[in-house]
Amino acid sequence: MNLLDIFLMASVFLFVFCLVFVFYLGWTESKLAEKQAIKKRLLYISAGGKHGQEKIKNYRDKVLRDVGGFDQLALKMPRISKLDRMLLKTTLPLNTTTFLVLTAALGLIGLFLGLKLLPHFLMAILAGLVLASLPFGYLKIAENSYYTKFQEQLPEALDLLARALRSGHALTSGLDMVGTEMLDPIKSEFGATVDEINLGLTFQDAFENLCERVPSTDLRFFAISLLIQRETGGNVAEILDNISRLIRERIQFRRQVKALTAEGRLSAMVLVGLPIVLFIYIYFVNHDYIALLWQEQIGQYMLLGAVVLQIIGAFVIRRIVDVEL
C-alpha cells in the first residue's frame, strides 16, 4: 500500500466519521428538545451579526454551562456569522466545525481519487474542488429555499401581527404570537427577535439582526416602517395591511415572471450541461481521442477557449433570463 492509498483511506475515514457524528448529534438532540433549542438560540445569536452582542454575552456564557463539553468547545470557537446563517437554513444538526471538517475531507477524497485515477494533476485538483464545493452548494440551495418559504409566509405574519395590534396586544406580544403560532422558518426568526428584545436589545438592534439573518427587501420595508411608526406614531395595523398587500402582489408578479422565463432557463441548463456531460462520456468511452486536448499544445488552447466561452455563454444567458424585480 503506497502513501497515496493511505491518505485516501484516511480522508474516507474522516468523512465517514463526520457523517456518523452528524447522525449522532441528530439522534441525541431529537431526544433532548431543550438542548436543541439552546444550541439553536446560540446559533441565531451568532447569525444575527454584531448588533447588541455585548448585551447578550453574559447570557451566552450562562447558557453554555447547560450544554455538553464538546458543544461548549464548538460553540465557543470563533464564529463565522455568514456560515452560521447558512447552517441555520438546513434541518441538519451541523455546526461550523463539523461542516468545515466534512468539506475538507470530501475535498481530499476528490483530490486523492483524482491523483489515483486521473492522468493529469490539474484534473485531480479540479475533482477535489468540485467535491469540496458540493456541501456549499447544498447550503446555497437550502438557503434559497428557506428565503422563498419565508417570503411566502411574511404576508400572513404581517396580517396576524396587524390583527393582534387591533385586538389590543402590544407590539412585542404580537411578535411573540407570530413566533408561536406560525410555522418555520418565520416562527424561528421572529422568535429569535423576541428573545433578543427580552434580553435587553433595542427594537432597532433586534430588527437589524433579523434583516441580517434574512436579507429580504420586503422584510426591511416592514422593519423600517415599524421603527418609524414607533418614533412618530400612527396606525401601525393599517401600514402592516398595506405592506402585506404589496408583498402579495410582488410574489404574484415574481411567479408570473418565473413562468414566462422557464423556457429560457431550461435552455440555459441544457446548453451549459450538455458539453460537460459529453466530455465526461467521451473521456470514459474513447479516452485516447479526447486526451489530445491536454496532450497537444493546440488542444490545451482549445480546451481553455471552450471553458472561457462556456462561462461567457452561461453569464449571457443568465443575464437574459434573470429579470430584476
Within 13 A of 168's CA, how many CA atoms are on the CB side?
Answer: 0
Beta carbons of 215 and 183 less than 8 angstroms apart? no
Beta carbons of 38 and 60 less than 8 angstroms apart? no
Alpha helix segments (H runs only) across the chain:
3-31, 33-47, 57-64, 69-76, 81-88, 96-117, 121-166, 171-181, 186-198, 203-213, 217-232, 236-260, 262-285, 287-290, 292-295, 297-321
Q: Indicate the length of the chain as a whole number.
A: 325
pLDDT band, residue 291 (cuts 50/70/90): confident
Residue written as grid cell 464538546:
70
Q: Please tell me the least confidently modeled range out of 67-81, 118-132, 225-239.
A: 67-81
21, pLDDT greater than 70: no
Mean pLDDT, residues 218-239 taken together: 82
Beta carbons of 211 and 196 less than 8 angstroms apart? no
Torsion-angle region of 233 (φ positive above 0: left; ψ -120 to 50: alpha; else: beta): left
Provide the residue ranges of all domains of the chain, joining segments of one domain with +. Answer: 3-144, 149-259, 261-321
Asked whether the whole model's pTM tops 0.85, one would answer no
Identify the CA nearest to 128 among candidates 13, 8, 308.
8
pLDDT band, residue 23 (cuts 50/70/90): low
Looking at every residue in the chain, the average pLDDT score rounds to 76
Distance of CA 116 to the CA centre of its chain: 33
* Per-residue confidence (pLDDT) for residue 222, from 0 to 100: 86
DSSP string covering 128-195: HHHHHHHHHHHHHHHHHHHHHHHHHHHHHHHHHHHHHHHTT--HHHHHHHHHHHS-TTHHHHHHHHHH
> CA 285, CA 134: separation in Å to the nearest integer?
26
Mean pLDDT, residues 253-279 taken together: 83
320, pLDDT greater than 80: no
pLDDT band, residue 300 (cuts 50/70/90): confident
Taking the alpha carbons at both ends of the chain, their separation in whole angstroms is: 58
* Per-residue confidence (pLDDT) for residue 125, from 0 to 100: 81
* Per-residue confidence (pLDDT) for residue 236, from 0 to 100: 81
Convert the pLDDT of each residue in 158-207 to its tens digit: 988 888 888 888 888 888 888 888 888 888 888 888 877 887 778 888 88
pLDDT band, residue 32 (cuts 50/70/90): very low
> CA 217, CA 224: separation in Å to the nearest integer?
11
* Per-residue confidence (pLDDT) for residue 179, from 0 to 100: 82
| Percent over 70 (pLDDT), the chain | 71
Within 13 A of 304's CA, how many CA atoms are on the CB side?
Answer: 8
> CA 242, CA 200: separation in Å to the nearest integer?
30
Convert the pLDDT of each residue in 64-103 to its tens digit: 555 555 455 555 555 555 676 777 777 666 767 777 778 8
Convert the pLDDT of each residue in 106-121 to its tens digit: 888 877 777 777 666 7
* Per-residue confidence (pLDDT) for residue 41, from 0 to 100: 59
Give the architecture (CATH level 2) of 149-259. Up-down Bundle (1.20)
pLDDT band, residue 33 (cuts 50/70/90): very low
202: amino acid identity, one letter: T
pLDDT band, residue 31 (cuts 50/70/90): very low
Q: Which three cell numbers stand for residue 108?
A: 481530499
Q: How far is CA 294 from CA 36, 250, 288, 323, in A?
A: 52, 50, 11, 39
Mean pLDDT, residues 23-43 taken together: 55
